[in-house]
Structure formats: C-alpha cells, structure tokens
Amino acid sequence: MWRTMAGVMLMTIVTTGGRIVNAQTGFARVRPEGAAIRALIDRGMERSATFRDLHTGLDNANVIVYVRFSRCYAGVPACLVWVSADTDTRRLLIKIDRFGGSPDELTALLAHELQHAHEVAAAPDITDLASFQKSFAAHGWKHRDGFETELARRITTRVTAELSRAGDNASRQRRPRS
C-alpha cells in the first residue's frame, strides 16, 4: 500500500544546511511550501503581469525554486539561497519573512527573488555556492547582507505598482454607485 501511495503522492525533500525543505511537487519549477505561500503566489499570478511572466518564465529553466516563509540572515525581508545542484537541475530556496509587510509587499518581495532565480537560470556557469556568489558579485553588487542586482530592484518597483493598480481597480468595482 505504501508503494501505491508513494507513486501517487510525490514529495520532494531537499536538505539544506541541516534543515529539510518540504515542498509541493509536480512539474512546476516554483514549488511553494504550504498553503500560505501558495496563496501569495496565486495573488501575484492574478494581480501582476510581471509576476506571471517571472513565474512562468521558469517553467523551462533547469532550476527548481522552493519557496517558504522563513527569516533570512541579518533580518533582510527576503532572500534567495543556494541549495544544491546535480547534472540536470539547480535547486534554490526563496525565504520570505512572513512579518515583513503587507500582502502586496510580500508579493513584490517574492517577485524580486524570482528575478534573482531567473538570473541563476540564465547563468549555466552557476553550479555551486562559490559560482553563485561570484556571478552575483560580477552582475550586481555586494552589500553587508548579501548581493543585489538593479533588475531585481526594478522588478520590485514594477510589481508593487501593478499590485497597487489591481487593488485600486478592485476597490472601484466594489464601491456602490450613487
């Protein structure tokens, strides 16, 4: 019976730094860890074209991106962490501080980190932690808490604006007409 259940239910467990990452599987490249993260992704997919493009743009990449609510080093609100690689796939983890802001702010932070995942996907020479750090240092800049790129910063601004417009439109639709 266990083999039957195992054949029907797929669960990915990736070890990273002594911690286990459990995530929903299937063929999706972006794998939320739990219903709350799934809801955040759904929010971005529904309300932001840029978010949708980032998410679906990873479908054919050789990266798998696990997403969880968790705290990052030095209190940054979100981060992308190198997990592992094999000959076919590189695995990344996006951590988002659940208490880092409003749903729109969290969605924009997730889009920011998805952009970083795209940057990894576009760089086949990133195969381990050292090359991950080297690539981000070469294409962005290092600050005291990690690396940053200009494109990811612009994505945050763009998705924030799209979410705001979507919220404004939803508010207008709910208002009673006089």
For range 44-65, the mean pLDDT = 95
What is the model's pTM? 0.79
User: In this predicted structure, what is the pLDDT of residue 74?
Assistant: 82
For the chain, how many residues are written?
Answer: 178
Whether 176 is covered by a domain: the verdict is no
Question: How is residue 30 annotated by DSSP?
Answer: E
Number of folded domains that form the chain: 1
Residue range 60-98, pLDDT digits in tens: 999 999 999 999 988 899 999 999 999 889 999 999 999
Whether 139 is covered by a domain: the verdict is yes
User: In this predicted structure, what is the pLDDT of residue 73?
Assistant: 84
Whether 178 is covered by a domain: the verdict is no
Residue 149: pLDDT over 50: yes
Domain that holds residue 114: 2-170
* Confidence label for 140 from pLDDT (cuts 50, 70 and 90): confident
For range 134-147, the mean pLDDT = 79
Whether 62 is covered by a domain: the verdict is yes
Whether 177 is covered by a domain: the verdict is no
| Pairing outcome for strands 146-148 and 63-69 | unpaired
CA distance 65 to 87: 16
Mean pLDDT for all residues in the chain? 81
The full DSSP string for 136-163 is HHHHSEEETTEEE-HHHHHHHHHHHHHH
Residue 122: pLDDT over 90: yes
